Amino acid sequence: MATRAAHKRLTREYASITANPPPFIAARPSEQNILEWHYILTGPPQTPYEGGQYWGTLIFPPDYPFAPPAIRMHTPSGRFRCSERLCLSISDFHPKSFNPAWEVSTILLGVQSFMTSEEMTTGSVSASESERKTLAARTRWWNSTGGGSTERRLQGQGAMNSNRRGFGAIKSGDGGKRFREMWPELDEENWKWMEESRIDPQTGKSLVVSQQSCAPEADALRKSVGSGAAAVMEGGRDVGAAGQGWVRRHAVWIVVAVVFAYVLAMRVVSEG
């Protein structure tokens, strides 16, 4: 239970961060426990996390601000291990270095700054830029479905896949229940986005099947139809590529045919 001083301080900080939120940061305490805060970091532009929705928690000690919180990020990011405590100078790993003048906004700005760096610490991981971009694109799905563990379906979607954890799910979750409790407005936006984009709640993959011809040659020729030499040249390059693909697929049979023809020709010559 929070001390009276901690409760008063956190109440004031909630009013402050709500009125003047730092860029790409939102935070609020749990209604049941003011020491449990939930935050959302939106991936800043020109970073591998751009547009990502990163959900995490700050668990404050009863004697805050004289001791720092435990910091966790629950959404897969390619930067931090999911739901593990982070060792930062502003976290409970280093209580002696914590400054009581620091506020929730200061702490979250520190998390944001560390996230966009490449410095390593306890709870951090290494990943390529492309991996982090892929995870960023899946954050909204992951938050609102618990990593594919939800039983909710899209309108008009068929029967549930037997893989209830979801393809590529980081871990089995609570179906997004906890996220929905803390961020109902974001959860609603996320589900609207999944509906509009036809994202499978159990897999995070698109339900829209692209219409492609079975024959790559036909697709290439289709591209050449239209006005302008550029379109014709592009179609011609695609036809050539499709032809080369056919040769590679049937290389063994081509070699056999050539050898057979050679042997047959030699027999004809020798008999002659």
Positions marked catalytic? 87
Q: Are 32 and 50 in contact (CB under 8 A)?
A: no
- Chain-centroid distance, C-alpha 220: 33
Instruction: For residue 26, give the DSSP letter.
Output: E
3-state secondary structure of 217: helix
Q: What is the SS3 assignment for 4?
A: helix
Q: Which residues lie below 8 Å from residue 14, measured CB to CB, with a gap of 6+? A: 27, 28, 29, 104
Work out the number of other CB atoms within 10 angstroms of the CB of residue 141.
26
